[in-house]
Amino acid sequence: MDFIRRGGTRQAAFDRAVALPYSGSMLTWEDLAKDLSIQTESKIVLLVIDGLGGLPLRGKTELETAETTNLDRLAMRGCCGVTDPVLMGITPGSGPAHLALFGYDPLRYRLGRGILEALGSDVEVRQGDLVARGNFATLRDGLIVDRRAGRIATEECARLCAVLNAALAARKDPEVTLTPGKEHRFVARFRTAGLSDALTDADPQKDHKPLVKAQALDAASAKAAAVVNAFLDDVIKILAAEPVANAALLRGFSAQPSIPLMPDLTKLRPAAIANYPMYKGLAKLIGMTAYKVGQETEDLFTTIEAHYAEHDFFYVHYKKTDAAGEDGNFEAKVRAIEEIDAFLPRLEALKPDVLVVTADHSTPALMAGHSFHPNPFLLVAPTALPDETGVFTERECAGGLLGRFPSLRAMPLMLGHAGKLKKFGA
Site for a copy of itself in 277-306 (CB under 8 A): none
Question: Residue 123 or residue 164: which is nearer to a copy of itself going by CB?
Answer: 123
Q: Tell me the closest approach of the beta carbon of residue 87 to a copy of itself, in angstroms.
A: 6
Strand, coil or helix: 134: strand
**What gap in Å lies between CA 154 and CA 269, rounded to an integer?**
34
Say what the alpha-carbon torsion angle 200, 120, 129, 101 is, to the nearest 10 degrees.
Answer: 70
Enumerate residues 49-78 that contact a copy of itself by CB under 8 A: 55-56, 61
**Dihedral of alpha carbons 389, 394, 398, 404, sign:** positive
Q: Tell me the closest approach of the beta carbon of residue 92 to a copy of itself, in angstroms.
A: 5
**What gap in Å lies between CA 317 and CA 322, rounded to an integer?**
11
Enumerate residues 240-259 that contact a copy of itself by CB under 8 A: 251-252, 254-255, 257-258
If binding is defined by CB under 8 A, does position 320 make contact with a copy of itself? no
- The interface region with a copy of itself, picked from 156-164, 242-250, 334-342, 367-375 by CB under 8 A, is 367-375
**What gap in Å lies between CA 283 and CA 119, rounded to an integer?**
9
Q: Tell me the closest approach of the beta carbon of residue 10 to a copy of itself, in angstroms.
A: 8
Q: Tell me the closest approach of the beta carbon of residue 72 to a copy of itself, in angstroms.
A: 19
- C-alpha distance from residue 145 to each of 180, 206, 211, 373 (Å): 22, 9, 10, 35
Angle between helices 94-101 and 277-285 (to 10 degrees): 40
Of the candidates 227, 206, 205, which has an alpha carbon nearest to the alpha carbon of residue 216?
Answer: 227
Enumerate residues 374-403 that contact a copy of itself by CB under 8 A: 383, 385-388, 394-395, 398-399, 401-403
Which of 44, 45, 113, 317 is in the footprint of a copy of itself by CB under 8 A?
113
Count of positions on this chain that bind a copy of itself (CB under 8 A): 100
Kindly write down the DSSP assignment for every residue of 185-214, as one continuous string.
EEEEEEESTT----B--B--SSSSEE----
Q: Tell me the closest approach of the beta carbon of residue 252 to a copy of itself, in angstroms.
A: 6
If binding is defined by CB under 8 A, does position 14 make contact with a copy of itself? yes
Q: Tell me the closest approach of the beta carbon of residue 343 to a copy of itself, in angstroms.
A: 27
Question: Residue 146 or residue 197: which is nearer to a copy of itself going by CB?
Answer: 197
Question: Residue 164 or residue 415: which is nearer to a copy of itself going by CB?
Answer: 415
**What gap in Å lies between CA 310 and CA 41, rounded to an integer?**
11
Enumerate residues 169-228 that contact a copy of itself by CB under 8 A: 197-198, 200-201, 203, 205-206, 217-218
If binding is defined by CB under 8 A, does position 332 make contact with a copy of itself? no
- The interface region with a copy of itself, picked from 41-49, 92-100, 226-234, 238-246 by CB under 8 A, is 92-100
Q: Which conformational region is residue 128 in: left (phi greater than 0), alpha (psi within -120 to 50 degrees), or beta?
A: left
- The interface region with a copy of itself, picked from 182-190, 295-303, 333-341, 371-379 by CB under 8 A, is 371-379
Q: Tell me the closest approach of the beta carbon of residue 90 to a copy of itself, in angstroms.
A: 5
Which of 110, 140, 171, 351 is in the footprint of a copy of itself by CB under 8 A?
110
**What gap in Å lies between CA 392 and CA 399, rounded to an integer?**
11
> What residue type is assigned to position 356 of the chain?
V
Which of 5, 22, 241, 292 is in the footprint of a copy of itself by CB under 8 A?
22
Contacts 24+ apart (CB under 8 A), 161-170: 161/186, 163/238, 163/239, 164/235, 164/238, 164/239, 167/234, 167/238, 168/231, 168/234, 168/238
